[in-house]
Amino acid sequence: MTTWNIDASHTNIGFTIRHLISKVRGTFSALAGTIELDEKDLTRSSVEVEIDVASISTREPKRDDHLRSADFFDAEKFPKLTFVSRQVLARDGKVAQVIGDLTIHGVTRQVTLDVEDLGRARDPWGNQRLAFEATTQIKRQDFGLEWNAVLETGGFLVGDKVEINLELEAVAAVAEAAKAS
């Protein structure tokens, strides 16, 4: 079993949600987490990630402030989003899905991440790295994010379906420990 520390500077946690007639994209920039990877039996692997809600960015400061408010994430009361895996499924010797508990706004729901293993490489400083992409969809109202506005023409300002896209890079903890000593 190898511990891998998620490299926040090379990781992107993104989301897309319908807004009026278009879509808005956003990211979270502050996160930490680990992957426990068992190369001999991938199904024994696990993932834990913690995301700082205040780090949300949709490239519109007023919207970001609204998203941090009690109308949406309520970052003061619920400062972290978390994901803790329950099960890892493998196909053809690679991680294919990770099933786990996603907690947003104090509400925990099980989600399935569809995973693409992007491989492993040694960086120029001798660190062993790995990368994954993962996607899932959630309904924001399932997590208590219910604020909305009714449109004059019918329908709502903000959609319920949220597409989540993760591009994750991690560094083997063994390499980091060796550098520290």
Compute the average pLDDT of residues 63-74: 94
- Say which residues have a Cβ less than 8 Å from residue 100's Cβ, sequence separation at least 6: 47, 83, 84, 85, 86, 87, 110, 111, 113
69-73, 111-115, 124-128, 150-154: least confident range: 150-154
At residue 160, the pLDDT reads 85
Task: Show the domains of the chain with their CATH numbers.
Answer: 2-175 (2.40.128.110)
pTM score of the predicted model: 0.90
pLDDT tens for 34-55 read: 999 999 999 999 999 999 999 9
pLDDT at 178 over 70: no
In this structure, the strands spanning 31-37 and 46-52 are antiparallel
